[in-house]
Amino acid sequence: MSDNVGLATPRGSGTSGYIQKNLAQMRPRDRAAPYPADHQQYKQRQPDKGILEHDRKREVEVKVLELRDKLEDEGVDEEEIENKCDELRKKLLADLDRPGVGKAAPRKGFKSYQVHEMADAKNKESERLRQALKIGRNYEEGSHWKRKEERLKKSLERDAERERDSARDERERD
């Protein structure tokens, strides 16, 4: 028995007498707030434009290589293969550069390694939602309450000023 805790002797108790701490007990938290007062404002992850551009160009090269394989299987002359591949490459790269083309609606179902594509799709989705709800770019969370408090303060100041003016007018009349 240690520090007067547990059984004096485990004999006949059906236990070994081993004492252990109750780890399931819920203890109150030390902090009252779920986050510190000086927490940073949420900042959305920005995709790396270089990586996105590289992936687009890689898709173009994959299509060019598929064409090359197809033409080689058909037995086309090497010089003609090069010409057709160059034409396709120029056409696809020109399509990438045109605004609106190649920038379709955000995709779903990305692979786990496509973090930049996911971030880009999420940014576009957030932007569409912001525009649909007519929320300004410089919107700050909770700003509605701040404006409401400011209006309340102004109305209280106006009321106090009116009372002072009415009291002054009464004194002048007397």
Residue range 94-135, pLDDT digits in tens: 988 776 654 555 566 787 778 888 888 999 999 999 999 988
Kindly state whether residue 67 falls inside one of the protein's structural domains.
Answer: yes
Whole-angstrom distance, CA of residue 10 vs CA of residue 152: 70
Kindly state whether residue 95 falls inside one of the protein's structural domains.
Answer: yes
Count of structural domains within the chain: 1
Asked if pLDDT for residue 38 goes beyond 80, the answer is no
- For residue 16, the model assigns a pLDDT of 79
* Residue span of the structural domain in which 52 resides: 46-101
Sign of the C-alpha dihedral, residues 70, 72, 75, 78?
A: positive
CA distances from 100 to 57, 68, 104, 168 (A): 16, 28, 7, 68
> Comparing 136 with 159, which gets the higher pLDDT?
159
Kindly state whether residue 135 falls inside one of the protein's structural domains.
Answer: no
Task: Compute the 3-state secondary structure of the chain and give helix, strand, coil in percent, each to the nearest 5.
Answer: 55, 0, 45
